[in-house]
């Protein structure tokens, strides 16, 4: 039974039979798909420092965004990189996908490494985004993850998959 439907999100309550045969009631959030991009520029990469109202604070993240209806993940990656950083990339290297929180949502995030960056005049983030673009030496990413400056799961996965 659907208990909520918004513009980009629905929530469903349903009875599920688990592999052990037990039946339980569960709530599943269906936000649709998303992408996350690690823009790489030589020895540096670009992250965004974004305000997130759910945690009432700023965190370092890879540029990311939701896939619009009819859009392919690589098209979203191209669009979101421009919207959030003001840069476009010559190449997007797919790095697979992740389930960021499969305990309650079926959201899938496709991961990309973006290379061959250049400024783009079509820059313009959404009016509800509070973002600062930050250039970070790639060699600092592991330390930022280890000391808690980067706590965003998709960004940690990107760093692991893209920089090994």
What's the half-sphere exposure (Cβ side, CA atoms, 13 Å) at 54? 1
Same domain membership, residue 97 and residue 141: yes
pLDDT of residue 8: 86
Residues 12 and 63 in one domain: no
Encoding tokens for residue 31? 């936000």
- How many domains is the chain built from? 2
133 and 147 part of one domain: yes
The vertex-144 CA angle with 79 and 158, nearest 5°, equals 40
Per the structure, the complete domain to which residue 147 belongs is given by 33-162
pTM above 0.75, yes or no: yes
Contact 39, 117 (CB under 8 A): yes
Which residues does the chain have with pLDDT short of 70? 122-127, 164
- pLDDT, residue 134, reads 96
Q: Quick one: pLDDT at residue 163?
A: 75
Q: What is the CATH number of the domain that holds 51?
A: 3.90.79.10
**How many whole angstroms separate alpha carbon 51 and alpha carbon 59?**
7
Q: Are residues 75 and 14 in the same domain?
A: no
Q: Which tens digits make up the pLDDT trace of 59-100?
A: 999 999 999 999 999 999 999 999 999 999 999 999 999 999
- Residues 70, 81 within the same domain: yes
């Amino acid at each position: 039974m659907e208990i909520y439907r918004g513009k980009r999100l629905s929530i469903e309550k349903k009875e599920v039979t688990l592999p052990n045969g037990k039946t339980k009631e569960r709530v599943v959030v269906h936000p649709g798909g998303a992408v996350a991009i690690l823009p790489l520029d030589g020895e540096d990469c670009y992250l965004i420092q974004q305000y997130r109202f759910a945690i009432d604070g700023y965190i370092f993240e890879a540029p990311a965004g939701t896939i619009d209806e009819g859009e392919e993940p690589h098209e979203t990656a191209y669009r979101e990189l421009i919207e959030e950083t003001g840069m476009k990339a010559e190449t997007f290297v797919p790095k697979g996908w992740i389930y960021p929180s499969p305990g309650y949502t079926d959201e899938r995030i496709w991961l990309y490494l973006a290379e061959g960056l250049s400024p783009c005049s079509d820059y313009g983030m959404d009016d509800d985004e509070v973002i600062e673009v930050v250039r970070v030496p790639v060699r600092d990413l592991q330390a930022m993850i280890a000391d808690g400056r980067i706590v965003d799961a998709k960004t940690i996965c990107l760093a692991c998959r893209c920089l090994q």
